Chain A
């Protein structure tokens, strides 16, 4: 039960129930689709760029609490960041959810995102947490193919 509480933190449950930036950005060329074929999770991510700064980010999709909350918190975290900073954030996030760094070590970089530290205790759920980030990455690179976690 302790691990479950770590995984399903109140903030994560809240973002699952009412995801932020859960909308389309209609006039941006930067968007991508992500898919986890194993579980059928899929989402779309949009970013609006102002030079190399992420002016806006949003998503729509359907998946488990972890993948939805992760996408929601991600859109908040990357807004106002440079593209290179967003990519560094992704790298740090990936290290956190795979247990390679502790939440203390990455708190300064990741801020609120350290809430996902509990995912590292659930290896099969890592893909749920990182799907939105992979999709963001693809959107920033204007990838035409849908990304998958497999």
Chain B
């Protein structure tokens, strides 16, 4: 991304060539209602760089075959390409072993897999599953389902008025009945970055395994599951500039090896007969059926892309960008920021006195600005702040300060219409 000879990116945000990055994302050239698209709904799904689009296109044009089952050349080629992405993902999150990387449909499926396969063995009648109050519904509802099945209870780990985890309350919440802790790395509703390594240490001191939802972390900060020490880590390809339909579950090999299959079918077996079936070793045991082959292959270049931009440069740039957004949005009359965490990436949530979030979203859309209005699949967070919904502007590596200015002009529009 950085031209040779220029100062290395990441030293300061000035050397970050956002125009060159924008040029890699064809959709950003669009206009909406006659205005240039200002895409600030990245937490819902991120746009795709040309390298990802091309990889998926190339797969269907030139490589399409099923994997792990054909003797023919195309199948062999597809299998190699698919497995190469597993190794790439392992390196991307610094896992120790390729077998700890399981391809799933997305974060949602990853967490359901852990709940049903690991959870059913680990959690019993009268036990507690501790879940932070800032979770996306996909890291809450699977635990409620499990609790119902085994007769356990789901206990909330509270957040503060700033929208941060209450670490004292969290420490106090662990009991000898606590069998599992589910927490997000980054909140999709507030942008809060949780101190995962510290939390994991606390949980492990009580012998409690930790499931981390990394959906909103991977596009913004480098993730090192070994350093974090977590037991499971889940994320979605589509939020990190890859295709939809592919996600990753990382699990410590020792735990995965002891877990029963989540789904049964082709590909996950060692041998099958009516007398009994033996299951394949990990990770294949958890990948029943034909996976999202093209999408997995498309995830590879998304990882390469992030690595090429480099997290150091990206973080310096986004930090400034999001800081600017907080300051500018926060100074519009009648705006109340929802969540004021010390450590924040990617997301600024707010409400306006003059108008309901939906009306704000409709007015902004007419200005070409795409934001999300709603509860962001995080109703407990909304309840905590006493609002039914918020407007959420969420950023990615290709957004610019000028786009924030367009957003803010739109908010003034809202005040004019509804004021």
Contact = CB atoms under 8 A, between A and B. Distances in A.
Interface of A: 1, 3-4, 7-8, 13, 16, 38-42, 62-66, 122, 125, 128
Contact of B362 (A7, A40, A63): A7
Interface stretch (B10-18, B260-268, B278-286, B374-382): B374-382
A148 to B, nearest CB: 14
Contact of A4 (B363, B375, B379, B388): B363
A115 to B, nearest CB: 15
Interface string B91-118: 0000000000000000000000000000
Contacts of B362: 4, 7, 122, 125
Interface in B211-227: none
Given A39-B358, A40-B375, A65 B418 contact: yes
B326 to A, nearest CB: 24
B418 A128 contact: no
A4 B367 CA distance: 11
Most B CB atoms within 10 A — which of A1, A8, A42, A64?
Answer: A64
Contacts of B379: 40
B359 A64 contact: yes
B382 A40 contact: yes
Interface of B: 355-359, 362-363, 366, 373-375, 379, 382, 388-389, 417-418
A8 B358 CA distance: 13
A54 to B, nearest CB: 28
A39 B359 contact: no
A41 B355 CA distance: 14
A127 B363 CA distance: 17
A128 B373 CA distance: 13
B408 to A, nearest CB: 17
Nearest to B363: A4
B358 A64 contact: yes
Contacts of B355: 64-65
Contacts of A8: 359, 417-418
A118 B185 CA distance: 42
A63 B382 CA distance: 14
A66 B361 CA distance: 13
Given A8-B417, A39-B357, A39-B389, 5 more contacts: A3-B366, A8-B359, A38-B374, A40-B379, A128-B358
B373 A39 contact: yes
B388 A40 contact: yes
Contacts of A64: 355-359
A8 B356 CA distance: 13
A108 to B, nearest CB: 29
6 contacts: A4-B366, A4-B417, A13-B417, A64-B355, A125-B358, A125-B362
Contacts of A42: 388
A13 B366 contact: no
Nearest to A7: B362
Nearest to A42: B388
B410 to A, nearest CB: 11
Contacts of A128: 358
Nearest to A37: B375
